[in-house]
């Protein structure tokens, strides 16, 4: 029987469990929390708490990865928008959902060939 991987959704954020970290990642040195997605309409931010036992990495295309040996939380600045969720120990790929507008025949979030993630940090 296959070992099923976990996937967490927090608004437009997708946090997908993976087997191992890809090669050639750059380790990030974030403090406090890291923004994993920013709302385009209400100014809300989805964030992950940075603490001991939680590491973040980024590939050359801007994809964010997390390795945590202790649970951590994903939350919103506007707490009433989404519940805080706990992410258990593991290795995770973090991405943002992209909506497709079939009438306009385009993505609602434009992406260039080199992917740009709206990831930044703020010390709590």
Domain assignment present for 54:
yes
Range of 117's domain? Answer: 7-122
Query: What does the pLDDT look like over 63-111, one tens digit per residue?
Result: 999 999 999 988 776 666 677 889 999 999 998 776 666 676 665 554 3
Total structural domains in the chain? Answer: 1
Distance CA 67, CA 55 (A): 5
pLDDT digits (tens, 9 = 90+) for 112-122: 333 334 443 34
| Cα–Cα distance for residue pair 121/7, rounded to 1 Å | 23
Among candidate residues 103, 106, 47, the one with its CA nearest the CA of residue 74: 47
Kindly state whether residue 1 falls inside one of the protein's structural domains.
no
Q: State the Cα–Cα distance between residues 105 and 24, nearest whole angstrom.
A: 35
Q: State the pTM of this model.
A: 0.72
For residue 78, the SS3 value is coil
Within a domain: residue 2? no
């Amino acid at each position: 029987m296959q070992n099923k991987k976990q996937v967490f959704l927090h608004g437009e954020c997708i946090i997908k469990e993976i087997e191992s970290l890809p090669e050639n990642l750059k380790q990030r040195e974030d403090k406090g929390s890291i923004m994993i997605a920013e709302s385009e309409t209400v100014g809300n931010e989805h964030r992950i708490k940075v603490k001991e036992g939680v590491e973040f990495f980024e590939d050359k295309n801007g994809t964010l990865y997390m390795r945590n040996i202790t649970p951590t939380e994903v939350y919103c600045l506007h707490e009433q928008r989404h519940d805080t969720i706990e992410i258990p120990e593991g290795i995770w790929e973090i991405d943002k959902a992209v909506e497709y507008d079939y009438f306009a025949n385009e993505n609602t979030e434009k992406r260039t060939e080199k992917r740009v993630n709206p990831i930044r940090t703020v010390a709590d």
